[in-house]
């Protein structure tokens, strides 16, 4: 077990500097263009693939970093470059985490490589959980998966929404209801292979921020997938459903559902994304305050500006520490007894919204224009308190964990 330290080792520093260089030299120069186009930045993803960043090997190396800091460090640097483009580069990771959290070793080895493709033919993948009437309320999910025993196939029907890479992905990971009577405990995850009949893209969303990342509905109409596309396998599912029925009958402890297993594993990473965006906005504001003069002196000479910057940096560092703690705990097998994963996501996402808003204010009228990047960063930061569990849901998780009570 790796000992806890706040000092990155030489290998981690090398990776951090390499990612920072890619973010500065490749992502940032393209950020404004793809934000305006509101399209997937395929050329940038391909550059990331050529550099070895958009690949299974790279994410595996970071995921298995014994300190747990590989993934949050990578997320922070890429999102420091630009949130929309970075999400296009890392969005496949949520689907990959879904397979890692719920799949067998054979499924992991089969499907995750297909999610990325290669530098000459890049692919993306999508994780499909939210629905028009089931976002935070996962128990209201309506997408159904029915087992056709005669053909050993699952038949999926329903509509998913807010799916990153939805419809343009090769591989889709879809969470569906297999036992409606069990509510959120009766869910399972399925692989929908490339070019499967019945899967189509619905509405593509025009978004406030992260506009370079593709977000759309995914429509499933009598989508048939082989039995081996049920993540974890049918035997494991049947055992889990049986335990859920027993516990439901006895009023016992809850059973985690497939979507929640994915989100719990990814929340500190989302916190790291928020830290990257907040840090980027803070650095722009700091540079601006040191060079912008009013009344014959730099505006940072005024306590009203200087104290804001001091608070911004303090909050960013505090957010990073919460993210690192949660990531280290997850990697070293320490349970989130106080919902530390949700704490990290909550604080970091709220910090990103606050810091980017302060950056716009420090730049004044310039901050409100697209000539300066803080306007885009402020729009991008709004998503962190919404996706993969809103701030309200994070507070609910934390409060329930601390109190042991079914707070609603």
Q: Compute the distance between CA of residue 341 and CA of residue 239 in angstroms, rounded to an integer.
A: 28
Give the C-alpha separation, 73 to 80, whole Å. Answer: 11
CA distances from 179 to 22, 39, 147, 262, 312 (A): 46, 38, 11, 19, 47
Residues 6+ apart with CB under 8 A from 123: 92, 114, 115, 116, 117, 169, 170, 171
> What's the distance, CA 90 to chain centroid?
8
Whole-number CA gyration radius for the chain: 22
Bridge partner residues of 210 (DSSP) = none
Q: Are 216 and 167 in contact (CB under 8 A)?
A: yes
Which residues on adjacent β-strands are paired with residue 226? Answer: 153
Strands 171-177 and 125-128: parallel
Is 388 one of the annotated active-site residues of the chain?
A: yes
**From its phi and psi, is residue 173 left (phi > 0), alpha (psi between -120 and 50) or beta?**
beta
| List 76, 371, 388, 392, catalytic entry | 388
User: How far out from the chain centre does Cα 245 lie?
Assistant: 31
Closest Cα to residue 299, out of 308, 291, 307, 309? 291
Report the catalytic residues.
Answer: 388
């Amino acid at each position: 077990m790796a000992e806890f330290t706040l000092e990155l080792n030489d290998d981690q520093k090398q990776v951090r500097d390499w990612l920072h260089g890619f973010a500065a030299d490749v992502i940032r120069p393209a950020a404004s263009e793809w934000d305006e186009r509101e399209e997937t930045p395929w050329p940038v993803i391909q550059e990331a693939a050529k550099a070895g960043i958009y690949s299974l090997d790279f994410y595996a190396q970071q995921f298995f970093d014994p300190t747990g800091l590989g993934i949050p460090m990578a997320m922070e640097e890429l999102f420091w470059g630009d949130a929309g483009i970075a999400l296009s580069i890392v969005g496949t990771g949520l689907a990959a985490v879904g397979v890692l959290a719920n799949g067998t070793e054979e499924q992991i080895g089969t499907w995750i490589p297909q999610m990325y493709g290669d530098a000459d033919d890049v692919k993306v993948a999508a994780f499909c959980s939210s629905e028009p009437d089931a976002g935070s309320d996962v128990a209201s999910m309506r997408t159904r998966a029915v087992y056709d025993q005669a053909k050993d196939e699952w038949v999926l029907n329903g509509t998913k929404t807010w799916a990153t890479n939805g419809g343009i992905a090769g591989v889709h990971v879809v969470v569906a209801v297999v036992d409606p009577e069990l509510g959120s405990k009766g869910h399972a995850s399925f692989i929908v292979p490339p070019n499967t009949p019945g899967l189509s893209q619905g509405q593509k969303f025009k978004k406030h921020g992260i506009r370079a990342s593709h977000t759309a509905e995914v429509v499933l109409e009598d989508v048939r997938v082989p039995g081996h596309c049920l993540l974890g396998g049918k035997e494991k599912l049947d055992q889990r459903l049986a335990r859920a029925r027993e516990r439901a009958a006895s009023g016992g402890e809850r059973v985690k559902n497939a979507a929640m297993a994915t989100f719990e594993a990814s929340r500190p990473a989302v916190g790291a994304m928020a830290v990257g965006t907040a840090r980027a906005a803070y650095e722009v504001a700091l540079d601006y305050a040191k060079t912008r003069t009013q009344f014959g002196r730099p505006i940072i000479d005024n306590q009203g500006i200087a104290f804001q910057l001091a608070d911004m940096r303090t909050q960013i560092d505090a957010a990073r520490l919460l993210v690192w703690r949660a990531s280290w705990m997850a990697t070293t097998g320490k349970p989130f007894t106080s919902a530390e994963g949700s704490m990290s996501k909550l604080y970091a996402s709220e910090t990103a919204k606050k810091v980017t808003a302060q950056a716009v204010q420090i730049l004044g009228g310039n901050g409100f224009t697209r000539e300066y990047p803080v306007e885009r960063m402020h729009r991008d930061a709004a998503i962190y308190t919404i996706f993969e569990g809103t701030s309200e849901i994070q507070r609910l998780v934390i409060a329930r964990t601390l109190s042991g009570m079914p707070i609603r």
